Amino acid sequence: MKFRVTLSIIVFFVIGGCNVQPPKNNTQRTESQAPIAAAVRVKPKPEIKEATLIAVGDIMMHSTQTRSGYDAKRQTYNFDSFFTPVKNILSKGDWVIGNLETPLAGEDAGGYTGYPLFNAPAELADAAKKAGFNILTTANNHALDRGEKGVIRTIANLRDRKIPSTGTAGSVAEASRTLISTKNNISLAILAYTYGTNGIPIPQGKDYLVSLIDEKKIIKDIAKARKQGADIVTISLHFGDEYQRQPNPQQKQLVENLLKAGADIILGSHPHVVQPYKIFKFSGKNGKTRKAVAIYSMGNFISGQTKDYTDLGVIFQVSIRKRFPEKTTEITSIKTIPTWVHRYTLNNKTNYRILPLETTISQKKDSLLATSQYPVLKGYLQEMNNHLNSLNSTPKKSLK
């Protein structure tokens, strides 16, 4: 009997001992209870991105220009020679913008014609693309020269060639989209508007076809572009007085209002002659100065016009820098390259090409120019350089 009791007690302690927990030691922790190391924040590495905007004025197509590109044997058009002398300059731009001041509506839309109702072969767009243009604005007073059909066909011809355009639209939805192009991590919004359409009425209920200048709407569009992530907002304005080499008071006031509202670059066109550019400085965030620039008119880039100064244009170049991780963007330099439309006779017809004045004069080896023309072109260059910068207090062509 004693044996059984003793055995039971031993069994009880052995079994119970299996459940006995060791005394807690507050100084010991399991692996899962080990303290978590504080996360180390790595400071982003400073980085700078840069991109260049290049813009030109009116790309027009008078009848003599259309004929110059026609190959009677092949019954085809080719306008590549217009842009060949400036192609190496245009190719350096990240954004290369021009104002297409003619519908590309097809020959069946009243034929190919010049002034007063323009319509050019779509091969003009082919030539522009080969030259380096990757954005074309279409808001100008000739946008409706071939009516609604002309607007829609022009957009389609550009789209087929993968050339983004802005300023005209085929629908409300299309008109509401903001054209934003990103190059080298810098996003550029391009907006375009015109003062009117030469008295040709926009079809009732289809105001979306052509973007007209409306200051309040443009200011809203600037804010919209910023909200959509634009680092730089560029506005193409078709405005001003034809053949006047200085901006009028209305141009100046509108430009200043839009820049104050947040636009960075304004590209003017319509006068068919070059008007000066002006650098603006506004108080920005944290007391920093914000720089903006407007060129009131870039003149004709290519046309058949023969009035004084209508054969002179400018390639307007703006360099842009974005800093990371701050994501601040600024204009760093501005450059102007005066150009001249050279009309010459070849194969019994008038031909056209755009010459960069400074390069042409310095090289003096153009086989299509007479020796006597170089001093004349040198005078054009000097006068244009002075004229372009006449609204700025300093003669320098760039800002740092």
Q: Give residue-wise pLDDT tens across range 179-195.
A: 999 999 999 999 999 99
The predicted structure's pLDDT at residue 152:
98
Rg (CA), the chain: 32
Residue 308 is assigned to a structural domain of this protein: yes
Residue 61 is assigned to a structural domain of this protein: yes
Residue 25 is assigned to a structural domain of this protein: no
User: Can you give the CATH number for the domain in which 342 is found?
Assistant: 3.60.21
CA distance 387 to 271: 15
Residue 331 is assigned to a structural domain of this protein: yes
Q: Is the pLDDT of residue 8 over 70?
A: no
Q: Using alpha carbons, select from 352, 390, 385 the residue that is nearest to residue 368.
A: 352
The predicted structure's pLDDT at residue 283:
86
CA distance 351 to 68: 5
Query: Is the bond into 271 cis (omega within 30 degrees of 0)?
Result: no
Q: Is the pLDDT of residue 5 over 70?
A: no
Overall pTM surpassing 0.75 (yes/no): yes
Asked whether the beta carbons of 301 and 98 are under 8 A apart, the reply is: yes
Return the exposure string of 340-351: e unless at least 16 CB atoms fall within 10 Å of the residue's CB, then b.
bbbeeeeeeeeb
Asked whether the beta carbons of 82 and 68 are under 8 A apart, the reply is: no
Asked whether the beta carbons of 143 and 103 are under 8 A apart, the reply is: yes
Structural domain for 109, as ranges: 47-388
The predicted structure's pLDDT at residue 117:
98
Residue 167 is assigned to a structural domain of this protein: yes
Residue 161 is assigned to a structural domain of this protein: yes
**Averaged pLDDT, 199-212:** 97
Q: Where are the beta strands (DSSP E) in the chain?
A: 47-59, 70-71, 76-77, 95-100, 135-137, 165-166, 179-183, 186-194, 232-238, 265-269, 274-283, 289-298, 300-302, 312-324, 328-346, 349-356
Residue 362 is assigned to a structural domain of this protein: yes
For all residues of the chain together, what is the average pLDDT? 90
The predicted structure's pLDDT at residue 27:
44
Q: Is the pLDDT of residue 16 over 50?
A: no
Token pair, residue 305, equals 């016009």
Q: Is the pLDDT of residue 262 over 60?
A: yes
The predicted structure's pLDDT at residue 43:
74
**Averaged pLDDT, 348-372:** 96
Note the pLDDT tens digit of each residue in 217-250. 999 999 999 999 999 999 999 999 999 999 999 9
The predicted structure's pLDDT at residue 394:
57
**Averaged pLDDT, 309-326:** 97
> In a 3-state reduction of DSSP, which class is residue 268?
strand
The predicted structure's pLDDT at residue 6:
40
Q: Is the pLDDT of residue 21 over 80?
A: no
- What is the DSSP-derived secondary structure letter of residue 21? P
| Residue % of the chain over a pLDDT of 90 | 84
The predicted structure's pLDDT at residue 39:
61
State how many domains the chain has. 1
CA distance 267 to 310: 17
Q: Is the pLDDT of residue 397 over 50?
A: no
> In a 3-state reduction of DSSP, which class is residue 219?
helix
Helix or strand run (H / E) with residue 367: none
Residue 42 is assigned to a structural domain of this protein: no
The predicted structure's pLDDT at residue 38:
52
Altogether, the residues listed in the chain come to a count of 400
40-44: long-range contacts, CB 8 A cutoff, minimum separation 24: 44/324, 44/325
| Confidence band for 287, pLDDT divided at 50, 70 and 90 | confident
Q: Using alpha carbons, select from 253, 266, 259 the residue that is nearest to residue 191.
A: 266
Phi, psi of 398 (to 5 degrees): -135, 160
